[in-house]
Amino acid sequence: MAEITEIEKFIIEKVKGIRNDRKISQQKLSSLIGLSEGFIGNVENGNRPEKYNIKHLNEIAKVLDCSPKDFWPERSI
C-alpha cells in the first residue's frame, strides 16, 4: 500500500476538523456524498487505501457548506 503523503494528511485533517465543527458523523457524511457508510472513516483512519479525490472533495464541500479550497493549505507542502 502506498504511504499517505503530507498533502493527503493535511486535507484529511482539514475535512475532519470542519466535519467535527459541523457535528456530522463519518457515517452521515459518507451517506450524504453517496458513498459506503464506512468510507469517511476509512479515509480518516490513514491506514487504509481509501483516499479523497477531487469529486469527493467537491461533494464534501457542498455538504459541509464550505469551499473545496478550504481543505487545501495556503502554500504548497
What's the residue count for the chain? 77
Beta strands in 1-77, from DSSP E residues, in sequence order: none
21 falls within a domain: yes
Residue 30 included in any domain? yes
Residue 62 sits in a domain of what CATH number? 1.10.260.40
| One pLDDT digit (tens) per residue for the chain, 77 residues | 568 899 999 999 999 999 999 999 999 999 999 999 999 999 999 888 899 999 999 999 999 999 999 999 999 99
Find the domain containing 44 and state its range: 6-68
pLDDT given at position 3? 83
Is the residue at 75 inside a domain?
no
Is 11 within a domain? yes
CA–CA dist 29, 9 (Å, integer) = 18
- Output the CA torsion sign for 76, 10, 17, 19: positive
Please provide residue 45's backbone torsions phi and psi, each rounded to the nearest 5 degrees. -60, -40
Give me the number of domains the chain comprises.
1
Q: Is residue 76 part of a domain?
A: no
